[in-house]
Amino acid sequence: MELNNLGNLYNDILIEHYQRPFNKKVLENYNFDQEGINPSCGDELHLFLKIGDNKIKELSFEGKGCSVSIASASIMSYIISILKEYSLNDIKKIVDKIIEYIKGEISYEDIFKNELNHLKNEFQDLLALKDINKIPVRLKCALLSWITLKEFLNNYNS
């Protein structure tokens, strides 16, 4: 990717989420947690979850890492807060689609086919991660929080 295009990556949404991350704290009374590490750059993430009635009632995170890693975790935390009424299985399917989107395998529109169309406007912060797949070292940073959540959901369901 050319240097003049790198500015598009660090747009206002990413900067906002990095400087003022959503739910970056240790969640009080969490009943599950999951850690994730990006060994290629040293980013670390710790998710705190409050699970009840087969739903994510609350999610927060702590961690250290680059601006993309923290911003992506903040975006993830915000999106999960919107999905409080969704089952863990439904959230897993949504997370899988978002991971595919971040990797550049599907379009933003593809996330919202079928029953998710009404969430398209609420998920717009994901657009900040649209071209991250063009910079492989940053892709791992952007995926850390999402993959950590996916690992939790896989472990929880098994």
- Which pTM value belongs to this model? 0.91
Q: Is the dihedral of CA 87, 93, 94, 96 positive or negative?
A: positive
Q: Which residues of the chain have pLDDT under 50?
A: 1-4, 6-7, 9
Half-sphere exposure of 126 (CA within 13 A, CB side): 30
Confidence (pLDDT) at 44: 96
Give the span between the Cα atoms of 126 and 15, in whole angstroms.
13
Average pLDDT, the chain: 91
Structural domains of the chain sorted by starting position, each given as residue range(s) with its CATH number in brackets: 3-157 (3.90.1010.10)
Confidence (pLDDT) at 6: 45
Confidence (pLDDT) at 8: 54
Closest residue by Cα to residue 98 from 113, 108, 88, 89: 108
